[in-house]
Amino acid sequence: MSEITMHGTTILAVRKDGTTAMCGDGQVTLGNTVIKGDARKVRRIAGGRVLAGFAGSTADAFTLLERFEAKLGQFPNDLRRAAVELAKDWRNDKILRRLEAMMLVADKAGLYLLSGNGDVIEPHEDAIAIGSGGSYAYAAARAFLQSSNLTAPEIAENSLKIAGDICIYTNQTLTLEVVE
């Protein structure tokens, strides 16, 4: 029996002028078939002050999201610390280590990419992306940040639309969340 590979997500976080926006597409693909077009992969957590977006296996992503919310409960005003503590658990726990997902988390001051390798990456630019179309969305966001007067939400949305035009695993059904 062959293994089925899941694809189908692009998540982008952008910060500009004190506003952080996170945008994700809604496509879920199983093998070479689109099985859902309106999944919501970007969420507001911690009373709406933190944004989280995920790519990868849905069940794994929800497990990580729950764990991250628990870390935010332990470190309520320190997004970086919560991210680092989750990454440490993810890397060291035998069960968590097998999870196949990535997360972006952001608040008004920080943007972080979290992975099962123990990575907590804070970009030196004001944009970061994950998923199948992440490279396309990231490149578009950087170009918009350098050469436009668009707001963070406009940059995030326009960048995802560009990724959706290029990446077959990214669609135009977007979820956009903003914190200021």
pLDDT digits (tens, 9 = 90+) for 14-61: 999 999 999 999 998 887 888 899 999 999 999 999 999 998 877 777
C-alpha angle 48/52/54, rounded to 5°? 155
Pairing verdict, β 174-179 and 19-25: antiparallel
Report whether 177 contacts 45 (CB < 8 A). Answer: no
Q: Which amino acid is at 113?
A: L
Length of the chain: 180
With respect to CATH, is domain 6-167 assigned 3.90.226.10? no
Contact status, residue 137 vs residue 41, Cβ threshold 8 Å: no
**Measured CA distances, 6 to 79, 103, 144, 160 (Å):** 29, 16, 30, 19
Match 């919310």 to its residue by tokens.
69
Q: Which amino acid is at 9?
A: T
What confidence score (pLDDT) does residue 5 get? Answer: 39
Please state, as a whole number, how many other Cβ atoms lie within 10 Å of the Cβ of residue 23.
31
d(CA 44, CA 176): 10
> What average pLDDT does the structure give for the chain?
89
Whole-number pLDDT of residue 57: 78
Instruction: Indicate if the pLDDT at residue 141 is higher than 90.
Output: yes
Quick check: is 29 catalytic?
no
Q: Is 99 helix (H, G, I), strand (E, B) or coil?
A: coil
Burial class (CB in 10 A: 0-12, 13-18, 19+), 113: buried
**CB-CB contact of 27 with 172 (8 Å):** no
Residues 100, 56: contact at Cβ < 8 Å? yes
Q: At what angle do helices 152-166 and 134-147 cross, to 10 degrees?
A: 140
Domain segments of the chain as ranges: 6-167
Instruction: Kindly state the percentage of the chain with pLDDT values over 90.
Output: 66
Q: Is the pLDDT of residue 7 over 90?
A: no
Among the listed residues 5, 9, 58, 63, the single catalytic one is 9
